């Protein structure tokens, strides 16, 4: 029996998900006790510093969704802080609005500009997008400096003053603490939800995320908009604390602080970035002589974390306090769970590929491909390397667009449909090289399969409505059953990156099953599997076929293909070489000469 990579013999290894949640809950409780008692044990000066940390955390909590979970390099979020601050100050000073109403509109302004900041992320990647956000922050401060009639220019504007009891240092402290708690609550709800898993998938395995129906474009824009609300509210609070705001209050150092707080704390975590926010806020006060060197100090801290603890503060502490859990690798398959996972409902119609042609420059990858996959059958797709097999799967799942020809599934023309829309139609797929989300647990990876069928909205999840929790619980149970079906039930709480290659292949299949597919595209699922594991794979394929699911199997392990397939199509140089039953294909002389050999 095999054991997972990085697990010592005897089955001892990390059980990260329960540990992480236990550690984060403990950290949050400790932070609450300290926060509520702080004004009574420190002087007014340090209480104001703590207030500033709360304000920063409101913004960083939102930024964490973008940088930590979605992996977007948004460095210029100080621009949104400035927009929120000036919106609140202008509405109170110029229009005479109540402070709390101005704060709400500051959040709305942050949402609007958060959406606009997010638009370039749809086309720009990594450092190009980072430079765009920095440019945005620079533009905001320059507009604030030049538009004197509205913003006061270099002289500035007085910040809003909140009504009693929030007009005192103590009252404002607790107001900012409440907003920090609200931000933490909303962040925690999203992080633990379908949307949080989707964001991590976008960050670490965007192709697989798209194949599972994660609407990458919409999810990014919603996240940027939501994070903009956090930044706008933080800006209003920041303006009130400063009592007077000028453009030079929104410095490049602040942008760096916000960004590296997420990275130093740990991507995709909550308590780690929270601790980093407190540390980075206190650092200039504790080491006052280093204030002029703050950017250098921040950069040095980031470099040390990247080199020594890439996972940040959270990962560092997990190494010391992580409990142990036993696991013995792949366990027995419980094929009886298949019916509970994918159901026995009436399946959709056939997949029809007709005249499919696709070229890459001068290379013709597909040249008039035709075949049909009937409901409840296994269709084998074989041929030499470079014959176009994976290209066909990519065209069916929406990653490539045909130059000519049609692909229809259950009377739907797939030509104009995105990968996500095809996933909603019931088309699921695996990949030649397993594409799992290493930083999520095995169970969370399987749960990603249900993303396209998740009905609770982003807002409903954020505020923690019971509907979202119930739906998440149902998906969790279905994912557990899918893992039991493929033999990974005892590895559910391990990180996916700890699994061996063969275990990751079965995890991909489990994830596809959670999608409740009508058509399953398997891209060389037997590659690297032992004889016993191939038999397990065969039994799974037979099991889903019995339940009415169509399977298109691309595989070089011809014995498996001939055993499980009802029909086989053979490709060579992008063309159909032969098609028919396994017996007909096996005896075809052209197939023997081109692929099977003697």
Q: Which of 294, 321, 348 is the last residue of a domain?
A: 321
- Locate 82 and state its tokens: 């400035």
Q: How would you write 418-431 as a 3-class SS string?
A: CHHHHHHCCEEECC
Q: Name the burial class of residue 307, with classes exposed (0-12), middle (13-18) and buried (19+) by CB atoms within 10 angstroms of its CB.
A: exposed
- CA separation, residue 268 to residues 77, 217, 279, 444, 593 (Å): 18, 20, 19, 13, 53
Does 393 share its domain with 476? yes
Does 291 share its domain with 385? no
Does 343 share its domain with 260? no
Does 286 share its domain with 343? no
Domain that holds residue 40: 12-321
**What residue ranges of the chain have pLDDT lower than 50?**
1-17, 323-326
Distance CA 446, CA 491 (A): 12
pLDDT at site 4: 40
pLDDT at site 24: 60
The CATH number of whichever domain residue 127 belongs to comes to 1.10.3470
- Beta strands 404-409 and 378-382 are unpaired
pLDDT at site 528: 86
Q: Three-state DSSP class for 382? A: strand
Distance CA 472, CA 443 (A): 12
345 domain residue, yes or no: yes
pLDDT at site 595: 74
Does 278 share its domain with 349? no
Domain count, the chain: 2
Q: Which of 259, 288, 321 is the last residue of a domain?
A: 321
Does 355 share its domain with 439? yes
Does 247 share its domain with 362? no
pLDDT at site 80: 95
405 domain residue, yes or no: yes
pLDDT at site 325: 45
């Amino acid at each position: 029996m095999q054991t997972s990579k990085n697990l010592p013999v005897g089955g001892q290894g990390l059980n990260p998900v329960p540990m992480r949640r236990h550690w984060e809950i403990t950290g949050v409780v400790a932070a609450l006790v300290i926060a509520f008692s702080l004004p009574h044990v420190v002087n007014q000066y340090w209480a104001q510093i703590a207030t500033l940390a709360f304000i920063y955390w409101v913004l960083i909590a939102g930024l964490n969704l973008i940088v930590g979970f979605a992996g977007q390099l948004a460095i210029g979020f100080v621009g949104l802080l400035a927009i929120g601050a000036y919106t609140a100050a202008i509405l109170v000073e110029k229009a005479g609005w109540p402070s709390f109403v101005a704060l709400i509109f500051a959040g709305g302004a942050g949402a609007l500009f958060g959406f606009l900041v997010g638009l370039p992320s749809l086309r720009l990647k990594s450092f190009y997008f980072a430079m765009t956000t920095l440019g945005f922050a620079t533009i905001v401060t320059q507009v604030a400096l030049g538009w004197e009639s509205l913003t006061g220019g270099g002289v500035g504007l007085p910040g809003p003053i909140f009504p009693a009891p929030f007009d005192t240092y103590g009252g404002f402290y607790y107001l900012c603490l409440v907003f920090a708690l609200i931000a933490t609550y909303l962040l925690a709800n999203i992080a633990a939800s379908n949307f949080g898993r989707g964001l991590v998938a976008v960050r670490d395995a965007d192709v697989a995320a798209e194949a599972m129906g994660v609407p990458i474009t919409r999810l990014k824009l919603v996240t940027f908009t939501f994070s903009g609300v956090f930044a706008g509210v933080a800006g209003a609070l920041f303006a009130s604390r400063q009592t007077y705001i000028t453009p030079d209050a929104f410095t490049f150092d602040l942008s760096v602080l916000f960004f590296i707080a997420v990275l130093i704390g740990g991507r995709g975590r909550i308590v780690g970035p929270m601790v980093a926010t407190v540390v980075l806020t206190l650092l200039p006060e504790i080491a006052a002589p280093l204030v002029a060197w703050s950017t250098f100090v921040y950069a040095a801290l980031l470099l040390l974390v990247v080199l020594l603890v890439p996972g940040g503060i959270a990962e560092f502490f997990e190494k010391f306090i992580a409990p142990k859990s036993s696991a013995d690798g792949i366990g027995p398959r419980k094929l009886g769970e298949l019916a509970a996972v994918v159901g026995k409902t009436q399946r959709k119609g056939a997949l029809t590929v007709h005249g499919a042609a696709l070229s890459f420059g001068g290379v013709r990858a597909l040249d008039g491909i035709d075949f049909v996959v009937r409901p409840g059958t296994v269709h084998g797709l074989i041929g030499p390397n470079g014959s176009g097999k994976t290209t066909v799967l990519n065209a069916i799942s929406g990653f490539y667009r045909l130059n000519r020809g049609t692909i229809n599934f259950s009377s739907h023309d797939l030509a104009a449909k995105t990968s996500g829309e095809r996933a909603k139609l019931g088309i699921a797929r695996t990949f030649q090289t397993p594409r799992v989300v290493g930083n999520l647990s095995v169970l969370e990876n399987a749960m990603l399969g249900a993303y396209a069928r998740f009905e609770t909205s982003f807002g409903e999840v954020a505020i923690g409505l019971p509907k979202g929790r119930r739906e998440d619980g149902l998906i969790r149970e279905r994912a557990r059953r899918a893992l039991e079906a493929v033999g990974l039930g005892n590895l559910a709480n391990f990180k996916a990156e700890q699994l061996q290659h063969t275990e990751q292949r079965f995890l991909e299949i489990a994830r596809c099953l959670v999608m409740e597919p009508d058509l399953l595209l398997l891209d060389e699922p037997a590659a690297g599997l032992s004889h016993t594991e191939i038999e397990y794979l065969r039994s799974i394929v037979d099991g889903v076929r019995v339940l009415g699911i169509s399977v298109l199997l691309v595989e070089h392990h011809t014995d498996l293909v001939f055993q499980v397939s009802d029909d086989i199509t053979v490709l060579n140089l992008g063309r159909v070489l032969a098609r028919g039953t396994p017996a007909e294909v096996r005896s075809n002389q052209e197939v023997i000469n081109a692929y099977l050999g003697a």
